[in-house]
Amino acid sequence: MTESILKEPDKVKVLFEKGGERGSAEKLAKTLGVEFTEDPAAVKDAGIVLRYGKDGLYFESEGQILHGDLSKLRQRLEKGRVDHELLVKAAKFKGEKPEDLTAVDATAGLGEDSVLLAFAGFKVTLYERDPIICALLKDTVRRALKVQWLSDAAKRMKVVEGDSITELPKLADPPDLILLDPMFPAKKNSGLVKKKFQMIYLLERQSSDEGDLMQAALSAHPRKIVVKRPADGPFLGGIKPGYSLSGKTIRYDCIVR
């Protein structure tokens, strides 16, 4: 979790490499209150390195890497395939074009669910409360803007650093859709927890506030809330959905208002 990582800021270093965005790297170090360096030797003993190179921002710790890359979803996005995604099916409104609809991804992570919605046509605002994950996310969307087949979707994605529990109740206009995907509870010794999520676990404070997140979403008065859950997981905040769409490992609970 970032708060505990940042309690030991001397363990975190931002390393700038040739070809990277110097301004962004310096700004990140300043925001987090950690050391900025261009010297690879200076990060040898750092517990966590935030490396800004020509391919963007990487979070590196104990041999593990976290780096957003939306272009790897190409197989799932192109040639009309995005409409077969369970999330997109759960998100859609019968008889309405996603191009006319707004969505809020209240737990954006590295933006993979958001890009499915944006590619389908939704205009998506992405909230991410963790400053390191949010920096990775902003960098991920910035790079997606430069990828020809992805750029239109990336233009529909707006990243905001903030806690949805406090931000959603303040929204001026109710969005059509809110997506909630807080961290699933960790299963002991589970090989199912992908590497990416092991890293996010390291950064994320465990969600003890799932009920608050659901209440914040309800108070924003969206037309629909979609909650991503493990197939056998409990309802978020104990709220029973109107209907659910289930896949092998994932379930989307849909609360229609």
Ligand X SMILES: C[S@@+](CC[C@H](N)C(=O)[O-])C[C@H]1O[C@@H](n2cnc3c(N)ncnc32)[C@H](O)[C@@H]1O
Give whichever of 29 and 178 is closer to ligand X, judged by the CB atom: 178
Stretch that binds ligand X, among 30-38, 91-99, 124-132, 242-250 (CB under 6 A): 124-132
CA angle (105, 184, 199) in 5-degree steps: 85
Give whichever of 176 and 204 is closer to ligand X, judged by the CB atom: 204
Residues touching ligand X: how many (CB under 6 A)? Answer: 22
Q: Are 126 and 105 in contact (CB under 8 A)?
A: yes
Q: Identify the CA nearest to 50 among candidates 131, 110, 128, 132.
A: 132
- Is 125 among the residues that bind ligand X (CB under 6 A)? no
Structure tokens belonging to residue 28: 């990140």
The residues in 172-191 that bind ligand X, with binding defined as CB under 6 A, are 181-183
- Is 253 among the residues that bind ligand X (CB under 6 A)? no
Structure tokens belonging to residue 96: 């309405």
> How far is Cα 69 from Cα 88, in angstroms, rounded to an integer?
20
- Residue 55, classed as helix, strand or coil, is coil
- Is 200 among the residues that bind ligand X (CB under 6 A)? yes
| Binding-site member from 24, 61, 102, 107 for ligand X (CB under 6 A) | 107
Site of interaction with ligand X (CB under 6 A): 106-107, 109-113, 127-130, 133, 163-165, 181-183, 200, 204, 207, 213
